[in-house]
Amino acid sequence: MSEAPAVTTTKEECWVPNILAFACNWCSYAGADLAGVSRLQYPPTVKILRVMCSSRVEPSFILKALKDGADGVLIAGCHIGDCHYIDGNKNAEIRINNTKKALEKLGLDKRLRLEWISASEGLRFSEVIKEFTDEIKKLGQNPVKEVKVNE
């Protein structure tokens, strides 16, 4: 009787990215919903947090998410010109680009992504999640997440 070769898995192979997505209520969250009801497959690496507008995402929310263990943060909003709050997504773009510049100094800029996804783009939502998950897997675990010690 022959024995099967021992298969070893490293901690890195078992690791699954933890991604937080802030999704605009009117477009991106509806796009995520469409992906779900259409049964489109995407990795279970994302936790979606609905916000009324992408411009409501403060840089401190992004920094806190990264500090608290998110390996990546996705901001998803309405396409430019389609914002329910007129210029909310334009303001979000400026804010996120400035946050990305600050994160660049820490080497974390690739862990932040801004995307425009409409309510009718369920397929696009699933593709963005797949792409971002692959990018985060290449980067590895978040190097600055706070280690919590059990007391």
| pTM listed for this prediction | 0.89
Q: φ, ψ for residue 144 (rounded to 5)?
A: -110, 5
Does residue 1 register a pLDDT over 60? no
Q: φ, ψ for residue 44 (rounded to 5)?
A: -80, 35
Provide the pLDDT for residue 47: 98
The H or E element spanning position 130 is helix 122-139
Under 8 Å between Cβ of 92 and 57: yes
Task: Say how far apart CA 91 and CA 97 lie, in whole Å.
Answer: 10
pLDDT band per the 50, 70, 90 thresholds, residue 145: confident
Strand order in the sheet with 46-51: 46-51, 19-24, 72-77, 112-116
Provide the pLDDT for residue 151: 46
To the nearest whole number, what is the mean pLDDT of the chain?
92
Does residue 2 register a pLDDT over 90? no
Q: Which tens digit of pLDDT belongs to each residue from 61-115?
A: 999 999 999 999 999 999 999 999 999 999 999 999 999 999 999 999 999 999 9
Quote the tokens at residue 16.
Answer: 């699954």
Our CA angle for 22, 143, 32, nearest 5°, is: 20
Q: Which tens digit of pLDDT belongs to each residue from 3-55?
A: 655 555 555 668 999 999 999 999 999 999 999 999 999 999 999 999 999 99
